[in-house]
Amino acid sequence: MDAEGAKAPCLWALASYRAGENGQIRGLVEALGWPYRWIELSYRRRGAIQQLMRGVGLQGVDTRRSNGLEAPWPDILVSAGLRNEPVARWVKQASGGSTRLVFLGRTWAGLQHFDLVITTPQYQLPDADNVLHNPTTLHGVTPPLLAEHGETLRGELARYPEPRIGVLLGGDSGPFPFRRRAAAILGRMLDRKAQGSAGSLLVTTSARTHMDAVRALEDTLSAPTFLYRWASDATDNPYFGLLALADELVVTGDSIAMLSEAVATGKPVHIFDLDLERYDQTPDLTLKSVLYRALMRAGPQRLSRNISIVHERLVGQGQAVWLGEPWKGASKPPEDAVQRAVARVKQLAARD
């Protein structure tokens, strides 16, 4: 039963192949408060053609190594990512059309194939009845979660002086790489900030952080620093503990998911701009970043994302500032993207 006493719908969470998207999926299904099945997929390389052609089917997954793709079919399926679109649409087809598809971020197939798309500004999707435009991505950051993880980590971080500056490191993002040059610039800015307040740095990498960037950052730091290196098989990731115990947060601008989670804490948030021209420096360039810039200028809009739109809105609304600029205080509490999404999914579930 749900909170209103009605029978909860059958809910599936179709896991993505990206950690950030999985955080968003889990944040939504947990907030819905319904029992759900978490389904992991094992992907095949040959599925790329089907994905790019916006097909429907299971050719892109190894069904023997993927759990749970069988009846009874769900009432609601939540997922994200290009590789998962053919699978989600196959589930809807197998259910006789009764499964309602909720997709996060953007879709590569037409919007008409999905019952609800929950998106953010960088994807620039059109207004439509089945599209919910949120200011930030979905997440699982709540006061109880922060309290729990903060208490777990408190003893380990007791020796790091306050104020503590939490640092969330991402990686390459479209036109802007995060490599040695950018990391060294960030490191120098962080060190000055921590030394100026006699505080410390609480740093965590992520799945996309290059090790050469981590080494370059380390080489510039002299302030007391806690550094966690992300690992796929780790069971002690302190990420939410760092969010809880930091007095303010610095986030590399590539990750809208980490920015959304940082803003949700209600603490001062500083964005490090990977377009290093803001800091009078020449940006790092890679072949991929050069090609992405060309795609943004001349390619179809749906093939790229413009994360600067989110940055500008967060800064314009007082939810964040650029690293190096003074914190002015949030002009208003951040809009609760998770609760807006929960309300729309519950409306969808109640629809005849």
In a domain, 1, yes or no: no
Q: How confident is the model over 18-24, as a mean pLDDT? A: 90
Give the CB-side neighbour count of residue 320, counting CA atoms within 13 A.
30
Shared domain check, 326 and 193: yes
Q: Does residue 2 lie within any of the structural domains?
A: no
Region of poorest pLDDT, from 46-60, 83-97, 303-317: 46-60
- How many angstroms separate the CA atoms of 107 and 105, rounded? 7
Residue 81 lies in a domain: yes
Do 162 and 56 lie in one domain? The reply is: no
DSSP string, 21-77: HHHHHHHHHHHHTS-EEEE---B-TTHHHHHHTT--SSTTB-GGGS---SSSPPSEE
Q: Which tens digits make up the pLDDT trace of 146-178?
A: 999 999 999 999 999 999 999 999 998 777 889
The whole-angstrom distance between residue 194's C-alpha and the CA centroid of its chain comes to 26
71 and 158 belong to one structural domain: no
Domain co-membership, 275 together with 172? yes
Separation CA 267–CA 304 (nearest Å): 30
166 and 245 inside one domain = yes
Q: Are residues 346 and 312 in the same domain?
A: no
- Is 4 inside any structural domain? no
For the stretch 44-53, contacts whose Cβ atoms lie closer than 8 Å and that sit 24 or more positions apart, written own/partner, are: 47/83, 47/86, 50/86, 51/82, 51/83, 51/85, 51/86, 51/108, 52/82, 52/108
How high is the pLDDT of residue 175? 77
Q: Is 287 helix (H, G, I), strand (E, B) or coil?
A: helix
Establish if 255 belongs to a structural domain: yes
Q: Which residue shows structure tokens 């790019």?
A: 52
- 171 with 263, same domain? yes
Assigned domain for 3 exists: no
Are 149 and 107 in a shared domain? no
Which domain does 293 fall in, by range?
A: 143-334
Residues 316 and 343 in one domain: no
Q: What is the pLDDT of residues 215-230, one digit of tens each?
A: 999 999 999 999 999 9
Within a domain: residue 6? no
Query: Could you tell me if 83 and 178 lie in one domain?
Result: no
Establish how many alpha carbons lie within 13 A of residue 231's alpha carbon, considering only the half-sphere containing its beta carbon.
Answer: 7
Task: Tell me the mean pLDDT in the region 300-306.
Answer: 64
Closest CA to 36 of 46, 28, 48: 28
Q: Residues 304, 296: contact at Cβ < 8 Å?
A: yes
The tens digit of pLDDT for each residue in 104-129 reads: 999 999 999 999 999 999 999 999 99
Report yes or no on whether pTM surpasses 0.85.
yes
Q: Is residue 5 assigned to a domain? A: no
pLDDT band at 48 (very low <50, low <70, confident <90, very high): low
Q: What CATH number should be reported for the domain holding residue 92?
A: 3.40.50
Contact 38, 67 (CB under 8 A): no
Q: What is the pLDDT of residue 93?
A: 97
Number of domains in the chain: 2
> Pairing between strand 321-322 and 225-228?
unpaired
Residues 245 and 96 in one domain: no
> Is the same domain home to 113 and 225?
no
